[in-house]
Amino acid sequence: MLKSKTFVKKTRSGGVMKIVREHYLRDDIWCGSEACTECKQESTVLQTDACMESSLCSYPHYLIPDTNVVLHQIDVLEDAVIRNVIILQTVLQEVRHRSAPVYKRLKDIIHEKEKHFYTFTNEHHRETFIEREPGESANDRNDRAIRVAAKWYSQHLKTSESDTDGLKVVLLTNDQGNKQKAEESGLLVYKFEEYIKSLTANPELVDRLALSNDDKNEITSSKVLFPEHLPLSRIQAGIKSGSFVQGTFRASRDNYLEATVFIQGEGEDGTEILIQGLQNLNRAVHQDVVAVQLLPRNQWVAPSSVVLQDEGAAKDDNVEEEEEEKALRISAAEAARKATGKVVGIIKRNWRPFCGMLNVSQIKESTRHLFTPADRRIPRIRIETRQASTLAGQRIMVSIDGWPKDSRYPNGHFVRSLGGAGEKDTEQEVLLLEHDVPHQAFSQAVLNFLPKMPWAITPEDMVRREDLRHLTVCSVDPPGCTDIDDALHCRELENGNLEVGVHIADVSHFIRPGNALDKEAANRGTTVYLCGKRIDMVPELLSSNLCSLRSNVERLAFSCIWEMNHEAEILKTRFTKSVINSKASLTYAEAQMRIDDTNKNDDITKSLRGLNKLAKILKRQRIEKGALTLSSLEVRFHMDSETHDPIDLQTKELMETNSMVEEFMLLANISVAQKIYDEFQECALLRKHPAPPPSNYDILLKAAKSKDVAIYTDTAKALADSLDVAKVDGFPYFNTLLRILATRCMMQAVYFCSGMDNDFHHYGLASPIYTHFTSPIRRYADIIVHRLLAVAIGADSTYPDLMDKHKQSALCNNLNYRHKMAQYAQRASVAFHTQLFFKSRGILNEEGFVLFVRKNAIIVLIPKFGLEGTVFFDSKDKVAPSIVFDEEGPTLTIQQHTFRIFDKVKVTISLDASNIQHQKIRMALTDPVIPGVSVPVPDAEPQAKKPKLDR
């Protein structure tokens, strides 16, 4: 049956358009219930025995939530207790329209088999489709559609099965009017809160209920604290006329009364507007998109350097606040003042569930508590819970529900507990969540796209592939690596030249564009390596098995094969999809041993020696061209195999074989970059590393000058050369320190689409063009590059998104974001493990070097642990000693002693666990001895008692 849906829309040019869509109704949409005998369905989702222990409904029943229930109470719906739910298409569409994240979560629930969530396409069902009536609003129509569908279900289930088990449907809605109408038409209907409270077996669910409107009022004082937000239409008009500006709200980490709003300008650059004071911040939360009105110039202020944490008990009267705000308004020099504004409206909230801890209210019986997020930029959130005593000391997640204008804090609800604070698993979860690393198990929808096991290479696979199984290919990786992306071979050709092959796992063979697996991988962007844990970008079957180029199994590969002469000049480059059979998976150390062991002369070893010889030449050439060799200390933890606690820590050392593999990967990446750029000028995915602005080098130059060493930063080559000759007698570590400093001066390398940019240069590698091709298992960028290359050599077909530079640019943005976050997460993980390590070690005395000198502190690097820490010279409770800071040096003179960059100091290291949410390593000076500043050397290291096991 055909119906048409008509609606009018305003076009961008201001016209009005009438849009008519055809809408087909069908009579073969089944109810999805196991109990139904009438519907000719092949598989059912909803169980006959749909029992939830509810005191309201003692009979088996299915739930039909309305849109608002899904939107606001998704946290509860996600709980394993809630099963057998019918999600109507009307609801699904509305949710999709209103909130993308909730929609995604809902889709994930629906895909989960155990949850028994069924989508009923009521809009296309002949008996449940309704048309909008005159005078009916869109929402009313949807509510009616939901009621009609619920009614249909209740009648359908009544007739289909004799009433022995009496299956019923229960409509859940929070809308009073809807509820009343539903009751009138004889439906079973409850408010969501009512129903959840009736689940007697699971009282903890009540805490997760989002606060609905009528609850909010009682919580807050009636005093209006904030100015009203403007409606969206006013905001849009204001932005159009230029009286408001739109930007991203970025709260300050150090001062809760201050924030900046970042206004995206033309191209890369943007401007920032300062926002100060609670009223002006007007309930904006970090990362929200807000509309800002600039204040008149005479009200502009300078950013304060005061550190203010929102601490203590809940403040509902703002006496205290006013004082704090006053503290901000130190009269600043005219020049230091920045454009200042106030938030007038919120364009888009960017709330996510936040991790943090509960501040249990002092009043014992109180159910309302404040929650302090781990991220200092997020305000404290008021939540309601009955299990405060259990939750205290745990890391929990909380969602914000809203921020009424008469409430000092946003209102939220408890989502779930992550575990005890300080426990390893909990902290790992927290850092993944806080860095927005998608780390849930892969959903069934994604797993469905995996190849079926047992997997074998079929003749069809071979059609466009070269058979390279006879070659002596081997892989060299760090120990314990299970996702082997790359393998190498080298052999002498009959004409005396060398053939070198880099074989990369052919991940794009398994991940086809556009399917759920591809989308998931594109979203994750990268595999995240934490200490002792790996968050895969693709499911394990691919990452550690089918794509991993393990030894002695046949694997699909994408090969880049060069013919080189013995001077490592490339004579010919060739790309092909291939099948290889790796002969050995070696570690760097094993490979090194084979090369060094003159007794060994097997094919693998010969191949490795050839590679090593060429790599050395390549590296020399590269350095001659001006590639930088930078340094950063990477540490490796030795983990206890049982408890996974770190028991020792060492800095990673580099072997010749590391750089051997690296050289060939760089070569492959450059070759591929050139190829895909030649083929696709507009849409090649490349990686660039911009040259840093000269001012970035200031700190390096000053530091070098203090040791009378000259550093030239005009070009990468000059920098590399001057770093090479920078040496100070009797200070062997100086060069490394200098390189560490140079690394800090660098810019971030980023992915970009060649059609959107014209600067391709990679500064660090001194290459005019570069991309990532060699690690498709752990980086999504490489998969795209593989696809581009496959199209270029005719080995695979293309698809529209691949050639769309705007889509690709958007993808690059996500990849860059994910890479940055992965890096932060990695660092946070190392920091956390360092803390664990020091927790078990007690107090240590170590030698270190001054890396930076700040106004009131020095930053000390301990090479032994690769650890950096700050030694503060002023603190709240102590009278500050006389400190003289000289910015030119930079030097810091405390009483008689002057600290310079690179000074050798001794410090004592301990773990400061006073703030359980933000544990940190504390360093204190022991040598040089400065009275009143340094601390006495602690007694012989009180080697900690055997670390207590937490579980």
Partner 1 sequence: MATVQVSEAEKVYILHGIRDDLRVDGRGCEDYRHMEIETDVVSNTDGSAKVTLGHTAVLVGIKADIGKPRPLVPNEGYLEFFVDCSANATPEFEGRGGEELGTELSNTLYKVFNNKHSVDLKSLCICPGEHCWVLYVDVLLLQCDGNLYDAISIAIKAALFNTKIPRVRISTDEEGGKEIELSDDPYDCMRLNVENVPCIVTLCKVGHRHVVDATLQEKACSVASLIISVTHKGTVTCTRKVGGGSLDSESIFEMTEAGKRVGKALHAPLMNVLQQEEHLGKKKQKVGFLG
945 belongs to the binding site for partner 1 (CB under 8 A): no
Give which of 466, 501, 507, 465 is closest to 484, Cα–Cα: 507
23 belongs to the binding site for partner 1 (CB under 8 A): no
Spell out, one character per residue from 88 to 127, where the chain touches partner 1: x when CB under 8 A holds, - when not.
Answer: ----------------------------------------
Beta carbon of residue 23, minimum distance to partner 1 (angstroms, whole number): 11
Count the residues of the shown chain that bind partner 1, applying the rule CB under 8 A.
27
Q: Are 544 and 483 in contact (CB under 8 A)?
A: yes
Nearer to partner 1, 231 or 768 (CB): 231
24 belongs to the binding site for partner 1 (CB under 8 A): no
616 belongs to the binding site for partner 1 (CB under 8 A): no
Beta carbon of residue 510, minimum distance to partner 1 (angstroms, whole number): 45
440 belongs to the binding site for partner 1 (CB under 8 A): no
CB-count burial class (<10 Å; 0-12, 13-18, 19+) for 358? buried
Distance CA 527, CA 505 (A): 15
1 belongs to the binding site for partner 1 (CB under 8 A): no
Nearer to partner 1, 14 or 730 (CB): 14
User: What's the one-letter identity of residue 613?
Assistant: K
Q: Are 580 and 559 in contact (CB under 8 A)?
A: yes
Q: Binding partner 1 by CB under 8 A: which of 133, 266, 708, 888?
A: 133
Q: Are 911 and 921 in contact (CB under 8 A)?
A: yes
Print burial letters for 552-581: b (CB count within 10 Å at least 16), e (below 16): eeebbbbbbbbbbeeebeeeebebbbbbbb
267 belongs to the binding site for partner 1 (CB under 8 A): no
598 belongs to the binding site for partner 1 (CB under 8 A): no
Q: Binding partner 1 by CB under 8 A: which of 12, 40, 134, 222?
A: 134
Nearer to partner 1, 131 or 886 (CB): 131
Distance CA 239, CA 92 (A): 32
Cis peptide upstream of residue 942 (ω within 30 degrees of 0):
no
Distance CA 555, CA 503 (A): 10
Question: Tokens for 569?
Answer: 């000049």
Helix axes 716-725, 734-745, angle to 10 degrees: 160
H/E element, 416 = strand 411-420
Nearer to partner 1, 97 or 326 (CB): 97
Spell out, one character per residue from 186 to 225, where the chain touches partner 1: x when CB under 8 A holds, - when not.
Answer: ----------------------------------------
Distance CA 218, CA 252 (A): 31
Print burial letters for 124-153: b (CB count within 10 Å at least 16), e (below 16): bbeebbbebeeeeeeeeebbbbbbbbbbbb
Give which of 542, 504, 575, 580 is closest to 776, Cα–Cα: 504
- Compute the residue count for the chain: 951
875 belongs to the binding site for partner 1 (CB under 8 A): no
Nearer to partner 1, 10 or 876 (CB): 10
Beta carbon of residue 296, minimum distance to partner 1 (angstroms, whole number): 17
DSSP 59: S
Nearer to partner 1, 244 or 760 (CB): 244
Nearer to partner 1, 10 or 113 (CB): 10
Distance CA 773, CA 668 (A): 7
513 belongs to the binding site for partner 1 (CB under 8 A): no
Distance CA 579, CA 255 (A): 58
- 56-85: contacts with partner 1 (CB under 8 A): none
Nearer to partner 1, 132 or 439 (CB): 132
User: What's the one-letter identity of residue 677?
Assistant: Y
User: Judged by CB under 8 A, which stretch of 130-138, 355-363, 726-734, 737-745 contacts partner 1?
Assistant: 130-138
2 belongs to the binding site for partner 1 (CB under 8 A): no
- 136-155: contacts with partner 1 (CB under 8 A): 136-138
Q: Are 920 and 852 in contact (CB under 8 A)?
A: no
Beta carbon of residue 85, minimum distance to partner 1 (angstroms, whole number): 30
- 652-681: contacts with partner 1 (CB under 8 A): none
Distance CA 116, CA 191 (A): 21
Distance CA 24, CA 124 (A): 6
Residue with tokens 């426990």: 423
Greatest Cα pair distance in the chain: 95
User: Judged by CB under 8 A, which stretch of 131-139, 159-167, 260-268, 806-814 contacts partner 1?
Assistant: 131-139
455 belongs to the binding site for partner 1 (CB under 8 A): no
12 belongs to the binding site for partner 1 (CB under 8 A): no
- 219-248: contacts with partner 1 (CB under 8 A): 233-234, 237-238, 240-241, 243
Beta carbon of residue 261, minimum distance to partner 1 (angstroms, whole number): 22
Beta carbon of residue 228, minimum distance to partner 1 (angstroms, whole number): 15
951 belongs to the binding site for partner 1 (CB under 8 A): no
Sign of the Cα torsion 770, 776, 780, 786 reads positive
Q: Binding partner 1 by CB under 8 A: which of 23, 111, 132, 707?
A: 132
Q: Which residues pair with 779 in a beta bridge?
A: 526
Beta carbon of residue 137, minimum distance to partner 1 (angstroms, whole number): 7
Beta carbon of residue 15, minimum distance to partner 1 (angstroms, whole number): 5
Beta carbon of residue 293, minimum distance to partner 1 (angstroms, whole number): 12
Give which of 154, 157, 151 is closest to 35, Cα–Cα: 157
Beta carbon of residue 151, minimum distance to partner 1 (angstroms, whole number): 21
Can you give the binding site for partner 1, defined by CB under 8 A?
A: 4, 6-10, 14-16, 18-20, 131-138, 233-234, 237-238, 240-241, 243
